[in-house]
Amino acid sequence: MMNIEHEEVGELLVKMRRVTNDYTLPAEACPSFTALYHRLGEFERDLHQHIHLENNLLFPRAIELEQKARA
C-alpha cells in the first residue's frame, strides 16, 4: 500500500514541477513568491529522500522481520 502511495506522490511532484515550470521564477517574482518556490524545491528533495529511505531500507527490513516472526 505504501509503495502505491509513493507512486501517487511521485506523480503529484511531477505535476507540481510542471505547473511551476521546474520552479523557474517569473521576472517579476516578489520575495514571498521566491521563498515559496525555494521551499517547494526543498520539500520535493526531502520527500524524495523520505520515499527512498522507506522503499530501500525500512520496508525491506520490515518485511524481513515479519517473515522471521512468522517462521
Look at residue 45 in the predicted model and tell me its pLDDT: 96
pLDDT band at residue 2 under the 50/70/90 scheme: confident
| CA separation for the pair 34, 28 (Å, rounded) | 10
Look at residue 53 in the predicted model and tell me its pLDDT: 95
Q: How many domains is the chain built from?
A: 1
Look at residue 31 in the predicted model and tell me its pLDDT: 97
Q: Average of pLDDT values for 26-39?
A: 96
Q: Average of pLDDT values for 11-35?
A: 96
In this prediction, what percent of the chain has a pLDDT beyond 70? 100
Is the pLDDT reported for residue 70 higher than 90? yes
Residue 25 falls in which region: left (phi positive, over 0), alpha (psi -120 to 50) or beta: beta
Domain with 66, as residue range(s), is: 2-70
